[in-house]
Every structure is written in C-alpha cells, then in structure tokens.
C-alpha cells in the first residue's frame, strides 16, 4: 500500500474500485494457476488441502460482507454453514433414503438445487437473527450470533431424530453431474473452485454496486448514512442475509464433499477461525479473506510437522487470540487492508476522533 497512490494491483482490487486491465490479467493468471495446480502437484493430500482453502476462502468472503463491508460483528457464522450442510444431508439421507427409501443416486440433480436452497435457508436464518438487532447497536448482533452459533450446535447434538445427534449423518452422496461422479480429489477440487469463483465473483459485483456502497456508508457512519437517505435497516438485513447465503451454499458443498457431517464440524472455534481469516487478510477488501485463508491453512499444515504443536491444540487458539488482539491494536486493516479501512479503524489521533464525534453529535442534536 505504500506505493504512494501508484497502482499496487493487489491493493487496488481490494479497495473495491473497478479492476484495471492489469488487475484483470493478474486475476486471470491466479485463476489459471488455481486450475492447473492439482495437475502440477499431483498430490491428493495437497489437493484436499487446496479444497479446504477454497471452502475457507468463500466462508471468509461471505463473513467479510458482514464484518468487513458493513462493519457488524457476526460471531456465529459457522451456524449458517451448518444449516446448509445439515439441510442437504437431511434431505438426502433422512428424507429420501430413510423416509421414502428411494435410490438417492437417481436424485443427483437435487444437490445442485440444494446448493441454492441451502443458501437461501441460511440467508433466511441470517435475516431472522439480525432482525431484532436492527434498531439497536451493532454489538447486539455479536451476542445474538454468538448465542445462535451455540444453539445450532446444541440442536445438532440433541435433536437426534433430525440430525442423528453426535453420531453425525454419513453416506451423503458425492456430487454428480449427468452421470459424471465427482469422486477424485481433483474433480472435487475443481468443482469447489467453480463454486468458489462464482461466489467470489458475485460478492465482488455486489460490494462494488450501490448495495456495497450503502454497506460501506453504514460501516463508516450509520447515522450519517441514514441521514443521507440510505435505508440502513434494509441494507443491514441484506448484509446479514447475503453473508449467511454463501455460508449455506458452502455448507451444502461441504456435506457432499466430505460425505459425512458431524456437530463437531461446526464448533464455535470455527466461527472464530473464519473471523480471524477476515481480520488477518484485511477487513473490507476482496482479496483479504483469500490471503488470510491461504496463510492460515498453510501455517496449520506446516505446524503439523511439529509434535509439540500436535499435542498442544490450544496453541492454535492462543495464536488466533493474539492475531485478533495484535492486529486490532497495531494493524486493524489486516495484512492487505484498504487505505480506507486503515484510516477509519485508526484515526490519526484522539483529537481527530473527538472532532469527528463532535461533528456528529451536532448533527444528532439538531
């Protein structure tokens, strides 16, 4: 970012400007590498890892809508992921296989429908959850989502009739397309990549649209945004819903990818991991979550080689807590971070912040 206004391609993509031809080329190259990677590395383990990176990237990008672009804290994001995962698993296993006793392979197309329906279901949950907090300070959303994340896990564990509780749901069919089985790790990776790219494309379009600008306005100053005629409640609701939508879609994919889901896939810690990815890469910019997810997954994989780390899983949590606190104190815009977020998160001085607040207080009193 310190290139003095001259184009730093990565940074410019983040700030939400329309990409230049250089950036388009850069994105094209990255995409080409992403497609070619599994054929170059020829390792199932690494391909699987890359798929996990994609899942995290989409989740972090979806959360970025709420946290980064709208400036509201969602601490139970993984619950929406769980909704998608459980929805499709329940439809296939509990309803079709056990309920009607049909051959689920014949209903392969349903997974593709479910990607959308699971997403919409999660979006609905996000909107319902966000609704009571609309009139209130954003902090309440944090508590609501934190509670909701726990509720979903409790339901997944205890409503045995629906979710099979702690034994999880197994036998979720692999994705199929007109008789083609996505059974190899490579094909699953490529499918994930397609879903991921489409999701990121949609997110990038939305945040650069009128809606995205409204979100940014809300993030920077809700009162001023309202005064400018932005229906903040509607846009916040849209932000919750859209953020949750991508988690739902990814949840459906995750279930079919793993063939098995279990309440422990949706622990609270996962919500914090996803939040850390957003914060680490840089809130409010598009490439942030990608960078965050790549760093986090590779770091975790690298640390796997050390037995001390293996026997002390809490080190992961310690690292995550430190990342969140240190970044907020020293570099709130994250590794990449847009200048806009940087300015906003770290006012030059207390005086500056005070002046801003004063100016606002005047507006409010009138």
Q: Please report, as residue ranges, which positions from 65 to 124 form the binding site for other proteins (by CB under 8 A).
A: 67, 71-73, 75
For the bound state, the minimum distance from the C-beta of residue 219 to other proteins, rounded and expressed in Å, comes to: 8
Site stretch for other proteins (CB under 8 A), options 208-216, 245-253, 296-304, 317-325: 317-325
Q: Is 312 in the site for other proteins (CB under 8 A)?
A: yes
The span from the CA of 235 to the CA of 218, in Å, is: 9
Which CB atom, from 130 or from 255, has the smaller least distance to other proteins? 130
Find, among 291, 275, 284, the residue nearest to 325 by Cα.
Answer: 275
Angstrom CA distances, 272 to 28, 73, 93, 170, 268, stand at 31, 11, 30, 26, 7
Which CB atom, from 6 or from 364, has the smaller least distance to other proteins? 364
Which CB atom, from 71 or from 173, has the smaller least distance to other proteins? 71
Q: Is 245 in the site for other proteins (CB under 8 A)?
A: no
Site stretch for other proteins (CB under 8 A), options 100-108, 145-153, 166-174, 244-252: 145-153
Which CB atom, from 172 or from 323, has the smaller least distance to other proteins? 323
Q: Is 40 in the site for other proteins (CB under 8 A)?
A: no
Find, among 46, 76, 88, the residue nearest to 143 by Cα.
Answer: 76
Quick one: which of 315, 335, 339, 340 contacts other proteins (CB under 8 A)?
315
Quick one: which of 113, 227, 322, 359 contacts other proteins (CB under 8 A)?
322
Quick one: which of 59, 111, 188, 279 contacts other proteins (CB under 8 A)?
279
The span from the CA of 28 to the CA of 131, in Å, is: 39
Sign of CA dihedral 290, 291, 294, 295: negative
- Exposure string of 39-71, with b = 16+ CB inside 10 Å and e = fewer, is eeeeeeebbebbbbbbbbbbbbbbbbbbbbbbb
Long-range contacts: 131-138, Cβ < 8 Å, 24+?
Answer: 131/237, 134/233, 134/236, 134/237, 135/233, 138/71, 138/72, 138/73, 138/222
Q: Is 366 in the site for other proteins (CB under 8 A)?
A: no
Q: Return residues touching other proteins (CB under 8 A).
A: 67, 71-73, 75, 132-133, 135-140, 142-144, 146-148, 150-151, 154, 158, 219, 222-223, 268, 272, 275, 279, 283, 312-318, 320-325, 328-329, 332, 344-347, 350, 353-354, 364
């Amino acid at each position: 970012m310190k290139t003095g206004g001259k184009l730093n391609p990565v940074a410019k993509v983040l700030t939400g400007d329309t990409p230049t031809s250089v950036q388009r080329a850069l994105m094209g190259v990255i995409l080409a590498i992403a497609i070619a990677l599994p054929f170059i590395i020829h390792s199932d383990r690494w391909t699987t890892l890359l798929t996990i990176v994609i899942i995290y990237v989409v989740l972090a990008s979806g959360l970025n809508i709420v946290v980064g672009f709208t400036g509201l804290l969602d601490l139970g994001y993984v619950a929406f992921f769980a909704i998608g995962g459980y929805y499709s698993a329940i439809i296939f296993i509990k309803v079709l296989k056990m309920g009607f006793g049909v051959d689920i392979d014949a209903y392969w197309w349903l997974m593709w429908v479910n990607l959308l329906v699971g997403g919409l279901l999660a979006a609905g949950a996000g909107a319902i959850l966000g609704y009571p907090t609309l009139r209130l300070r954003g902090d309440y959303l944090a508590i609501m989502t934190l509670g909701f994340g726990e509720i979903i896990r409790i339901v997944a564990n205890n409503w045995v009739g629906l979710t099979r509780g702690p034994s999880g749901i197994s036998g979720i069919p692999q994705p199929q397309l007109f008789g083609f089985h996505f059974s190899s790790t490579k094909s699953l990776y490529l499918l994930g990549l397609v879903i991921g790219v489409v999701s990121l494309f949609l997110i990038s379009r939305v945040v650069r649209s009128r809606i995205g600008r409204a979100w940014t306005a809300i993030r920077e100053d809700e009162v001023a945004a309202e005064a400018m005629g932005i229906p903040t409640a509607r846009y916040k609701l849209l932000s919750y819903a859209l953020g949750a939508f991508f988690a739902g879609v990814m949840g459906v994919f995750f279930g079919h990818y793993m063939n098995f889901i279990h309440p422990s896939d949706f622990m609270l810690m996962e919500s914090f991991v996803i939040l850390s990815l957003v914060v680490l890469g840089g809130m409010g910019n598009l490439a942030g979550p990608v960078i965050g997810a790549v760093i986090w997954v590779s770091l975790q994989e690298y640390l796997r080689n050390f037995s001390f780390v293996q026997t002390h899983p809490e080190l992961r949590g310690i690292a995550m807590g430190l990342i969140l606190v240190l970044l907020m104190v020293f570099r709130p815009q994250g590794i990449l971070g847009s200048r806009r977020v940087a300015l906003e998160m770290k006012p030059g001085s207390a005086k500056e912040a005070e002046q801003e607040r004063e100016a606002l207080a005047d507006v409010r009193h009138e």
